[in-house]
Amino acid sequence: MRPTKLGIIGLGAIGGSLALEAKRAGIERVLGWSPEPAERVAAAQQGALDDAPARATDVARAVELLVLAAPPAANLALLDALAPHLGAGAVITDVKRAIVARAEARGLGPRFAGGHPIAGTHGHGFRAARLDLFKNAVVYITPTRDGDGAAREIAHFWEDVLATHPVLIDAAQHDRQLALTSHLPQAVASLLARYLAHATPPGATFGPGARDATRLAASEPALWTEIFLMNRDELLPALRSLEEPLGELERALEAGDAAGLAAWLRRGAEWRRRLDA
């Protein structure tokens, strides 16, 4: 799918970058909406949008493909609000089991597929948008039960317009996988940052190890609150699974077990080196 009219609801780092990329790729008309008037103005002034209507419904009515790029809870509300206003034949996309299920409940299954680019950024608002944010990124496409056609169209859009690598995946499998590969690292980084904030002596210097390990902790708390709660049934078991390897480390240290400690560290080191290979 290569729409001539693309709508984007939410003009932060993801939505704003998508708008910039779409215009560069030659999409004829890109419309966008944000609840923040300043973001709509900034996006239009920087050439990311051809029009920035004052109402999200005006965008929904006018486009062939509508991308919901707001935070997760807002996207659920937007789906309900915008469904009656979608143009005939328009396709709509976002991700997460909750919104896939909501789309099916609203009768939008054949016109909906999730699209989650693995291309995060720590900036906030349209000022964090940039060209090439999605280049060569993996994008997970999550079909509804009867939405294989829409999923193929969304996958083609991400590949053809945004130069990404789309991967079709079940919505439940997506959330299970992201709990481990994204949400758990976020939680661990935030946990370590909280501990260091309270336990570190005044004036201590933090080297690259502490900075690298806590980088994710600087992410937007409100956004991650929504993500954690929406995927809590998958995140909770992942968090609890850390208890066993942490216990192994504690026992090796208590016993002064150099061989056990080295083996514990080696498992992590070998996996991390393969990741970089």
- The pTM for the full model equals 0.85
Regions of the chain with pLDDT less than 70: 95-97, 120-123
pLDDT, residue 95, reads 56
pLDDT score at 139: 94
pLDDT digits (tens, 9 = 90+) for 219-243: 989 989 999 999 999 999 999 999 9
Quote the pLDDT of residue 199.
95
Domains 5-169 and 174-276 agree in fold: no
**Assigned superfamily of 5-169:** NAD(P)-binding Rossmann-like Domain (3.40.50.720)
- What is the per-residue pLDDT for 153? 94
Domain ranges, ordered by start, for the chain: 5-169, 174-276
Token pair of 89, please?
Answer: 């034949």
- Dist. CA 6–CA 49, nearest whole Å: 10
Return the ∠ at Cα 162 (arms to 160 and 166), rounded to 5°.
70
Which pLDDT belongs to residue 183? 96
Q: What is the pLDDT of residues 65-111, one digit of tens each?
A: 999 999 888 999 999 999 999 988 899 998 566 788 889 988 999 99
Query: Which fold, 174-276?
Result: 6-phosphogluconate dehydrogenase C-terminal fold (1.10.3660)
